[in-house]
Structure formats: C-alpha cells, structure tokens
Amino acid sequence: MYFSALSALPRETVFFVQYIGQQQLVKTITLAFTGASGMPYGMRLLECLLQSGQRVHLVYSMAAQIVARQEMDMVLPNRPPDAERMLAERLGTFSGELHVFGRDDWYAPMASGSNPGDAMVICPCTMGTLAKVASGISDDLIARAADVMLKERRTLILAPREMPFSVIHLENMLTLARAGAVIMPPNPGFYYQPGSVQDMVDFVVARILDHLGVANTLLPRWGEKP
C-alpha cells in the first residue's frame, strides 16, 4: 500500500519521504558518561535522545559519578534500576526508552558485535577512556562497547575534554579518527551569540545529534532565516 502510493509520486518526493522516514526511525544508541568535565553535555544529550523517541543504553564510569555530583549536584546511583528511576524522575516525560547498565555488565547488548545498536557516544570523554579505546583495552563495558562499534564499523562519537591536549592525547585521537571514530570535542561556537550556558551546551549537543541522524531544532541552521 505504502509503496504503491509512493510509486505515483515524483522521484525527488520519494527520496525526501524515505529520508524523513529514516531520520525518524527509532535508533538504539549507547551513551556513556565518563569522568571528564562536561556532565551537562551528557545529560542534555540524554534528555534530547529520549525526548526524540530513541532507545538509549546508558552506562557510566565511577569517575563520572564523582563529576556528576561536582558539576550538577546529581547522584548517579550504583544500581541500574535505581539509576533508571532517578533519571526518569529528573528528566520528566519522554517518548524514548532508557536502559541503564552496570559498567561490568558483560551481558549488556552492546558488549557483543551481535547486538551493537546503531551508534555510541562517549560524552563527556576522559583522556583515560580515550586512551583505552585507542589501544583496544576493553576492561569495562564502556571501552568494550566502543571497541565493538569500531570493529563493527558503526558510528562511534567521542567528546573528549581536556585543556591543553598532550601529544599522547592528540595521537590517541588521530588513531581513533583513522579507525573510523568521530572526534567531537565540546567546543561551542560563538557565532550564534549564545545568551546562556544552556545555549552553549545546546550548540554541542545539536552537532552530536546531527551526526547521529537524530532530528533536532536546538540550533538555527546556518544560512537559514530563524
């Protein structure tokens, strides 16, 4: 029915309808928080993914729990069921699905190449986790899931935060970019004249969502009238 209706339309319209359809498919996205500064980016990304109806598999490091408390007065629980409850209360209504996994849960879907999901984002990403992923050291679920994304040629985005970067950090980023990862340091631009910290956070999150193929209107598009 759908295809016969489409076949009557001009080719460009069919491509457009298919493109919009692809953009709106529910994606399974692994989101990892690690202990770099920038937890508001990670939390806003989580919120936007869930509000746009995506399925999010969340995992976080022990250092991320410390940074979350430091930067957002937020206690990320040790037990996944407690974390799911806390985050659902904090984020309010959303149409997506949230599943939280322990960092040693080797039975989690993203631990295996047979069930990697569509994409993974490590945001914020520490230099430590970056180094582990660049070296293939899969000693926790975050590093293992990232390793799986690379070997399965799926989208892996890292938002590394440090200042300045050492040669070791830069070489690790180059290694990862060569292996197919997308390095997206959380560097908000100022050309939209941000009026708040929230605007700056949204700048970074919008670019990550774009790379995930998740429709969003967080930022005006360059060259378009607001």
Residue 49 · residue 43 · CB < 8 Å: no
> Two tokens at 85?
């409850």
* Contact between 135 and ligand FMN per CB under 6 A: no
Nearest-approach distance from CB 197 to ligand FMN, in angstroms:
16
Q: Choose the binding region for ligand FMN from 11-19, 65-73, 181-189, 196-204 (rule: CB under 6 A).
A: 65-73
Does 34 bind ligand FMN (CB under 6 A)? Our answer is yes
Spell out the residues 6+ positions from residue 75 whose beta carbon is closer than 8 angstroms to its own.
65, 68, 69, 86
Q: In the complex, what is the shortest distance from the CB of residue 126 to ligand FMN, in angstroms, rounded to a whole number?
A: 4
Residue 70 binds ligand FMN, judged by CB under 6 A: yes
Nearer Cβ to ligand FMN, position 66 or 197? 66
98-122 CB burial, b ≥16 within 10 A, e <16: bbbbbbeeeebbbbeeeebbbbbbb
Q: Which helix (H) or strand (E) holds 42?
A: helix 39-51
127 makes contact with ligand FMN (CB under 6 A): yes
Q: Is the dihedral of CA 68, 74, 77, 82 positive or negative?
A: negative
Helices 197-212 and 39-51 cross at an angle (nearest 10°) of: 60
Distance, in Å, from the CA atom of 147 to the CA atom of 84, rounded to the nearest integer, reads 25
Q: Per CB under 6 A, which region of 34-42, 50-58, 147-155, 187-195 contacts ligand FMN?
A: 34-42
Candidates 9-17, 58-66, 179-187, 196-204 — which segment interacts with ligand FMN by CB under 6 A?
58-66
Pick out residues in 148-187 that bind ligand FMN (CB under 6 A).
161-162
Q: Which residues bind ligand FMN (CB under 6 A)?
A: 34-37, 61, 63-64, 66-67, 70, 126-129, 161-162
